[in-house]
Amino acid sequence: MPPLRAAKLLDQVRERIRYLHYSIRTEQAYVHWIRAFIRFHELRHPAEMGSTEVEAFLSWLANERRVAVATHKQALSALVFLYQKVLGISLPWLDAIGRPKSRVRLPVVLTQVEVASLLALIDPEHRLVAELLYGTGMRIMEGLRLRVKDVDFERRAIVVREGKGAKDRVVMLPASLVPKLREQLARGRLLWAADREAGAAGVFMPDALDRKYPRAAASWTWFWVFPQANRSIDPRSGEERRHHVFDQSVQRAFKRAVQGAGIVVPATPHTLRHSFATHLLQSGYDIRTVQELLGHSDVSTTMIYTHVLKLGGGAVRSPLDALVPSLLDLAPPSLLPVSRHWHVDELAFPCYRATPSFTAAATSAS
């Protein structure tokens, strides 16, 4: 397939995605997988291919590339979108291919001590973002996309706009972050004033609001709470404008802090959201309240955080915990301690080995 033809097809994909108001992240992901699908089959047009080619591509992802289940499903969704929404081709063979089953994974949760050490080690430029994610339970992009108008100091509330599923919700504004947020807005106002003086384009406005309210994009009310230090090119409009802080920079700063704190679990900025929900439940808040703060449509999604409120094995006490102290009390003097120690219920007990004489006696007795 000539490169021009491929480019035209991808342009059609982008046009259809924007018509359906999908996010730019979805657009980037779908275009990536559709391009990979076409290249995998040596630039053949998707209209000339069918279930055999789709299944071959997905099998290559699963067996050769060994992608995760979520990645596998995303690639399949991109191809389904291509055939159904762009090419207008029905897929009666889709059920035969099947979708990979998601695996239920417990979320990674940090202790409060780990969170405190982590936040202390994040560089000052990104620390407030991390504190806000843990203090409110927001997702990283929900926090970075905050506008000045979304922070209500009087009611101690933050309005999360266009969260996952295009839903709005209200979360608390932690009292300890009020002074820091005021300082952040003061720094942001300097960048806003510099943009106005330079005659730069205003910030991105959703849903064509820049046409309905032409001056809103350049107003302080719509400016970012966490603006980027430099202006950049808008990938859709091509205009140079001020964007919010990139999530990659926060993730890199977070990774450095995790390493510095000596945390061994695979923590990411999203781990702060998991920790927020878990710590609220541990503090006694009901699960419905936590559900609303997280923005979950179904309480069953929030129920995953209750795993830390239970002891392992459904709160069953291991028989080993009752057996070990008895063994230690009755241990004969011929059992000699060694240097290593092991732990039961946070109490260290010496590990014993049998002397040759004791071993011989035990063998003859048996």
In the block, tokens 């295009």 appear at 166
Q: Is residue 274 annotated as a catalytic residue, yes or no?
A: no
**Alpha carbon distances (Å) from 344 to 185, 196, 317:** 50, 64, 12
Q: Which of 85, 161, 164, 180 is catalytic?
A: 164
Residue partners of 9: CB distance under 8 A and separation at least 6: 34, 38, 45, 46, 86
How, if at all, do strands 169-172 and 232-233 pair?
Answer: unpaired
* Nearest alpha-carbon partner for 120 in 144, 112, 276: 112
* Cα separation, 302 vs 191, whole angstroms: 39
Q: Is residue 243 annotated as a catalytic residue, yes or no?
A: no
Please report the beta strands in the chain, taking only residues with DSSP state E, as ranges in sequence order.
151-152, 157-160, 169-172, 232-233, 240-241, 335-344, 347-354
* Nearest alpha-carbon partner for 122 in 214, 256, 242: 256
Q: Is residue 273 annotated as a catalytic residue, yes or no?
A: yes
* Cα separation, 157 vs 243, whole angstroms: 24
Which neighbouring-strand residues pair with 335? 354
Q: Which of 30, 83, 134, 139 is catalytic?
A: 139
Exposure of 366 by Cβ count < 10 A (0-12 exposed, 13-18 middle, 19+ buried)?
exposed
* Cα separation, 80 vs 94, whole angstroms: 8
**Alpha carbon distances (Å) from 263 to 44, 117, 168, 253, 268:** 47, 10, 33, 14, 11
Q: Which of 145, 273, 274, 279 is catalytic?
A: 273
Q: Is residue 341 annotated as a catalytic residue, yes or no?
A: no
Q: Residue 5 region, left (φ>0) first, then alpha (ψ -120 to 50), else beta?
A: alpha
Residue partners of 279: CB distance under 8 A and separation at least 6: 112
* Cα separation, 127 vs 74, whole angstroms: 32
In the block, tokens 């720094």 appear at 187
Q: How many CA atoms lie within 13 A of 204 on its CB side?
A: 20
Cite the active site residues: 139, 164, 270, 273, 296, 305
